[in-house]
Structure 1
Amino acid sequence: MASQKPTIVFVSGAFHKVESYAPTTDLLKQDGYDVIGVTLASVDQDPPQPNWDEDIAGIRNAALSAIKEGKDVVAVAHSFAGLPVSDAMKGLSKAEREKAGLKGGVVRLVYITAGVMEVGGFSQQPFNGQPHPWMRLEPDKRAYMKSPEIAQELFYNDVDPGTAKVAVKGLKSQSYGAFLSKVTYTAWRDIPSTYLICENDKCLPVELQEAMMETPGALFEEERCSAGHSPFLSMPRFTADVIRRAAGEKI
């Protein structure tokens, strides 16, 4: 009897709703995976979230919904979501739960051109807490992309123009407090992980992705493609197959 496939918990990045990832998540469902999509709680909130606590809770609860049924989980993070996903995994690894006599757990993490930082780090640390030049920060602490043109160039530079325009229209506000929340746990040191490097990413340059993947003590295996920041739109079959390999398939 074939072993059950792990559940995929797919966490969208900042400004994005999980529906934007459908070209890839739909393929995973067709490939026989249960997929739980998670939009960060800090996205599209009025008033904005003061920090990422609700993001952590949402990710963790999604993973636990499968783990409590004794299932294994592969957690997938895109972009900014790499930081809260790491925090949310504390105590949920398959190895740790097995030691406690518990079934199910997180067997692997997948970082799609995603953030990796040490404990105490936070998203805007390289900018001394200030927003990126391409963000517009409102007085109520909600951040937006400065313009549709900037969003398309940063996020979707290699995506079909029609698809990219739809994706840009789907972008939402982002609670800036999440960008200032500090990492408390480095899951990628305890849970085997895959890092998908996207060589033509204009949001997270390839050199930065490579440096994060090579953080001392990290358990990353490298996957690589020629995509921009959103391979789930420009290369959905490849991205789905990266996740399938992370889930244990020999493809």
Structure 2
Amino acid sequence: MTTFALVPGAGTDTWYWRPLERELTRRGHRAVPVELPCDDDAAGLETYADAVVAAVGGADDLVVVAHSFGGFSAPLVCDRVAVRGLVLVTAMVPLPGESAAQWGDATGAGAALAEQDARDGRDPDDVVGLFYHDVDESVANEALRHERDQSTTPWTQPWPRAAWPDVPTRYLLCREDKLFPAAFVRTMLARRLRGVVPEMVPGGHHPMLSHPGALAAAVLGR
């Protein structure tokens, strides 16, 4: 039985992982949504990685699944416990010494989002249109209620690894993602994780809410 550690992005709790947790459990695996201390200014990326290790409790067969900003903390888990694989779900990929605050300009993410907004005619203040455009209205409203404050401590901290960990890594690119559009992701990966070819899955930036079954199948490599 594989244990999947589900590492959230910025300013979220474990609620939005629950549909994927149910799908992975139904398929005979253990899924652990990780609660990160995202509103604690004393907690940095290393603390986030420690929280993942504590949550999985010495799992023998561990795969770490990281969403969005989770791409900064998930690789650090590999320095603490044996990890069989990393699965990045529309995640940020850092370079050594780079902070998440620097990442947008360094990768061109901000420009890609502005171009996407222009194509869609989206108001920059329309959070639902950015993150939850492909989920039911009731789900989107519930997601907004589960948003948490995100401390700037890990956001401004330089990524502490000297290189990406030597662990098999997969990247799940979300077809309808507005925040990290497909063309942007392909360019970013080609520059930062050479040899990792993104795998397309349906959904926007939160496919665990809109297409949990398809996401589970992709996480499992099926």
TM category, shorter? 0.7 to 0.9
Is the counterpart of residue 155 in structure 1 residue 169 in structure 2?
no
Structure 2 length as normaliser, TM-score? 0.82
Corresponding residue for 1:85?
74
Off by >6 Å, runs of 4+ in structure 1: none
1:223 pairs with one of 171, 195, 199? 199
After the TM superposition, which residues 1-251 of structure 1 pair with which residues of structure 2 at under 5 Å, given as runs?
Answer: 5-42=1-38, 44-45=39-40, 48-49=41-42, 51-63=44-56, 65-67=57-59, 71-90=60-79, 92=81, 105-126=82-103, 150-185=126-161, 188-215=164-191, 218=194, 220-245=196-221, 251=222
Stretches of structure 2 lacking an aligned partner (at least 5 in a row):
111-124
- Give the paired residue count: 206
Please tell me whether the aligned partners of residues 45 and 72 of structure 2 are also in contact (alpha carbons under 8 angstroms): no
Please tell me whether the aligned partners of residues 7 and 33 of structure 2 are also in contact (alpha carbons under 8 angstroms): yes
Please tell me whether the aligned partners of residues 67 and 88 of structure 2 are also in contact (alpha carbons under 8 angstroms): yes
Larger strand percent: 1
- How far residue 189 of structure 1 moved from its aligned partner, in angstroms, is 4.7
- How far residue 186 of structure 1 moved from its aligned partner, in angstroms, is 6.5
Larger helix percent: 2
- How far residue 77 of structure 1 moved from its aligned partner, in angstroms, is 0.3
CA distance in 1, matches of 2:42, 2:127: 22
The residue type equivalent to 1:181 in the other structure is Q
Structure 1 length as normaliser, TM-score? 0.74
**Which has the higher Rg, Structure 1 or Structure 2?**
1
The sequence identity of aligned pairs, in percent, is: 27
CA distance in 2, matches of 1:50, 1:91: 17
- How far residue 38 of structure 1 moved from its aligned partner, in angstroms, is 0.7
- How far residue 217 of structure 1 moved from its aligned partner, in angstroms, is 5.2
- How far residue 23 of structure 1 moved from its aligned partner, in angstroms, is 1.0
- How far residue 40 of structure 1 moved from its aligned partner, in angstroms, is 1.9
SS of corresponding position for 2:62: strand
